[in-house]
Amino acid sequence: MATADRRLGRERWRGASLADRHAAFKAVYLAHPQSVRIIKNLDIRLRMQGLSGESTGIVIRCPSDGGKSAFIRYLRRRYPPVEKEDRTLYPIIGFSVPSPCNPLRIANAILEEIHDPDAEGMNAGHQISRARRLFGEAETKIIAIDNFQDVPERRGIKGVQIVGNALRDVIDCNLIAVLLGTDEGDIVVRSNEHPTWLLKTRYTRESLVPGPQYCPHCLAQSGGGYFRTVWRLGFVTVCPIHLCELLDRCPACGAGVWPVGATMPRLFEVDRPTDYLHCARCGFQLSRAPTDRAPEPEDTTWWATSLIAGTPQELAADLSAASVDYLQGLDAICHLFIRNRPRAQIVASSTGWADVASGLVLESGTNQVELLCIEDRRKLIHLARPMLSDWPDAFVDFARRTGLSQEHFSGSEHLMPEWMRKVVYQKLRKQKRASMPVVSAEIQAMQSAGLKVTQQALRERLGGDSKAIRVLLPCRPKANRWEYARFSRRTTSGHQRHRKRQTVALVRNRLHLILAALSGTTLEGVAAMTVREVQAFVDVRHGGATAEERALVVSMGEHWERLSARAVTWGDPVLPFRTSNNTDPARTARYALLKVMRGMKPDLRRDISVFWRRGRPHQV
């Protein structure tokens, strides 16, 4: 029997081409004993995942050309797609780290593997949410990422953390993550394990970033010409020996203290290197810097010393937290005063916390508590400690009085320990949405007071947006003169040179122009006409346009000039979207029109809908 099978196999390949033999050989996977153990472990995790519903991960390290891509191909054959009547099921999704590596490209790579038509989106948050939703529809259980070590090669330290957080958000929906790469991939896996509250010791380009702290009395002691390790801890603001406030800048020139760069010649304006006792910029003797005695120094010193020693911190009568988790919670509360959205909410509240939030010195790029000056860190710690000492009542009261809700913690979940995350999602209110009766009562109150009832006025009075506002007070069918002027300015602003994100602005504004000029037709009609216009732009740009195409481009400019009652300098025609010689203009136009209708901001979408219905502005 074996001989017959062997002959049958020989007959099968007799006369086959070398290319066919190579293709068949690539499909053969000879499992190494390590691979067999990984596959068995993966099967066990799949069964456990069905019971627990928790996301897990496997990190596979192997050298270059070690068979990572072949292993992913084998997993695809082991768990093949299943065709259904209404959809295709993908038990496994595998892709390689894209270049450039960022959350948007990763989300688009995942959607491309699922063959989603919106796999070229421009909003990372929207694409990640869409991928998470499609995982459930496609019944995806495994996501395999190849060349995981390429992330740190293409990103900085902060970028690695951003990519790691995005991957965590994607995977954290009942999936098994299989990460394949070399040993350098561990940097991404451990990107969220970086130590917080650790101040810099090395001078960087951000000259306004303060350096580590120091105590003048300690430096003045005999043999005290060195920097203590404790001075690098951002939560330590009081000297535990002299009970005075620590400093982080030179009192003479205001420069940060950089002990690592103090011995470098010509780092600043000085011609010779200085020692640690003197400012590296002006040479001032730091031991002579004036400092004040700290308020309540014993309590502050005991608290900081217990954290350094790793003593568990008491949060409530029946709850305590490890020192690491406590510092993580302290960091998360302080971040509320730094991040733009929660900080704006705190500043808008009539509380004492608003004065602190508005008084912080936030330079460009200040996204960590460690980058704040010591005065601001001292203020934030003074406000955050009472919230943790009376947990969770004091924290919930702070959120209620300042108007913070769950939405203000979006994107910072990785900063919070588990006990803090639970309170945020159980005790804090969700995004503020006014109900239909509340909006109706507010409209009646405004009408009784003789006020003009508009959607914007309702949002300001209610303190947020709501679907009930758009239902009870729909958009007008025509735009007024002021709205049309604003719409025209937005469109023409895309022609400014050296504008930030100029490509995005041109794409958006050109599509606005096309939609406004061609309003009154159906979406399919606009798409069909846009194909012709795009082709005309392409031919004009490449110098092969016909007389009819040139006339079409000129007529569009003249038509828009008549509509806007202002001159628009067309100059060199700019394509409404990025294309190449191999790009299908019809597909590009349809895709761009769909994106401009789906992904734009609500106020811009409203402007589009107004001009879509009537075309010309309503004279008022």
The pLDDT of 563-573, averaged and rounded, is 36
Written as six digits, the tokens of 480 are 């007024």
Nearest CA-CA partner of 510 in 459, 578, 463: 578
Q: What is the pLDDT of residue 618?
A: 34
- Which residue, 321, 489, 347, 451, is CA-closest to 408? 347
Q: Which candidate, 577, 602, 609, 574, places its Cα nearest to that of 508?
A: 577
The winner for highest mean pLDDT among 82-96, 264-278, 591-605 is 82-96
What is the Cα–Cα distance from 177 to 54, expressed in whole angstroms? Answer: 11
Q: DSSP of 492-542, one letter per residue?
A: HGGG-TT-TTHHHHHHHHHHHHHHHHTTTS-HHHHHHHHHHHHHHHHHHHT
Give, as one character, the DSSP assignment of residue 297: H
Q: What angle do CA 174, 82, 44 make, to 5 degrees?
A: 40
Where is pLDDT greater, at 167 or 312? 312
d(CA 269, CA 253): 12
Judge whether 178 and 140 are in contact, CB under 8 Å: no
Q: Tens digits of per-residue pLDDT, 169-196?
A: 777 677 888 888 776 666 565 555 545 6
Q: Where are the alpha helices (DSSP H) in 336-392?
A: 340-348, 352-359, 374-389
**In the chain, what is the greatest distance between 2 CA atoms, to the nearest angstrom?**
98
428's tokens: 């804090």
Residue 597's pLDDT is 44
Kindly tell me if the per-residue pLDDT of 38 is higher than 80: yes
Q: Write out the H or E segment, with its range, that includes residue 472.
A: helix 467-472
pLDDT tens for each residue of 249-300: 888 888 777 665 554 444 444 444 456 677 777 778 888 888 888 887 777 8
Average pLDDT, the chain: 70
Euclidean distance between CA atoms 103 and 91, whole angstroms:
22
Q: Output the pLDDT for position 511.
A: 55
pLDDT of residue 155: 52
Q: Tell me the helix, strand and coil percentages in the chain, rounded to 5.
A: 55, 5, 40
Alpha carbon of residue 480 to chain centroid? 37
Q: Other CB atoms closer than 10 Å to residue 416's CB: what's the count?
A: 21
pLDDT greater at residue 609 or residue 143: 143
Mean pLDDT (whole number) for 555-579:
42
Higher per-residue pLDDT: 394 or 612:
394
What's the pLDDT at 237? Answer: 87
Residue 595 has pLDDT above 80, yes or no: no
d(C-alpha 186, C-alpha 236), whole Å: 31
What's the CATH number for 33-193? Answer: 3.40.50.300
Handedness of CA 600, 606, 609, 610 (dihedral sign): negative
CA distance 530 to 594: 12
Whether the predicted pLDDT of 225 surpasses 50: yes
- Centre a 10 Å sphere on the Cβ of residue 335 and count the other Cβ atoms it contains: 19
Q: What is the 3-state secondary structure (H, E, C) of 552-613?
A: HHHHHHHHHHHHHCCCCCCCCCCCCCCCCCCCCHHHHHHHHHHHHHHCCCHHHHHHHHHHHH
Closest of 216, 398, 220, 385 to residue 296, by C-alpha = 385
Statement: residue 303 has pLDDT above 70:
yes
pLDDT at 605: 46
> What's the Cα-to-Cα distance from 480 to each of 475, 486, 520, rounded to whole Å?
12, 10, 18
